[in-house]
Amino acid sequence: MSRKAFTIDRILYEILIESPNGVFTLSGLREEFSSRSNEKVMPPNRELFWMIFMQVYAMRSAKLVSRVERPEGGSLFLIGEQFRNHPFNVVDRLFVTRWFGR
């Protein structure tokens, strides 16, 4: 049975596969994404955060990542083993195109 390719932004995908121990936070993803992007015009930080949030929760629904509550508050996301074996459609500038392509 073939699995449908999951569409993901190139920079976000690179951050996820490079994340130490396969653990990340949403705010950490947004900060790292902003620092790696060489776009002159990006979605505002709040909108970028929510775009990343929706992408992570779509991956969570597909069981590619899981969420764990931290005792001090907030959440950590863990990259599952199936993430590395899942087919991805990696797209350059996905978030920028979605934001400004309205």
* pLDDT tens digits along 73-102: 889 999 999 998 999 999 988 887 877 765
Q: Structural domain tally of the chain?
A: 1
Q: 50, 14, 46: which is closest to 32 by C-alpha? A: 14
Compute the average pLDDT of residues 56-71.
94
Angle of CA points 28, 29, 32, to nearest 5°: 85
Kindly state whether residue 50 falls inside one of the protein's structural domains: yes
Q: What CATH number is given to the structural domain containing 19?
A: 1.10.10.10
Kindly state whether residue 1 falls inside one of the protein's structural domains: no
Phi-psi region of 73 (alpha: psi -120 to 50; beta: other; left: phi over 0): left
**Domain of residue 26, residue span:** 6-100
Kindly state whether residue 47 falls inside one of the protein's structural domains: yes
> Predicted confidence band at 1 (pLDDT cuts at 50, 70, 90)?
very low
Q: What is the pLDDT of residue 2?
A: 54
Task: Read off the pLDDT of residues 3-30 as tens digits, 9 standing for 90 and up.
Answer: 788 999 999 999 999 998 999 999 999 9
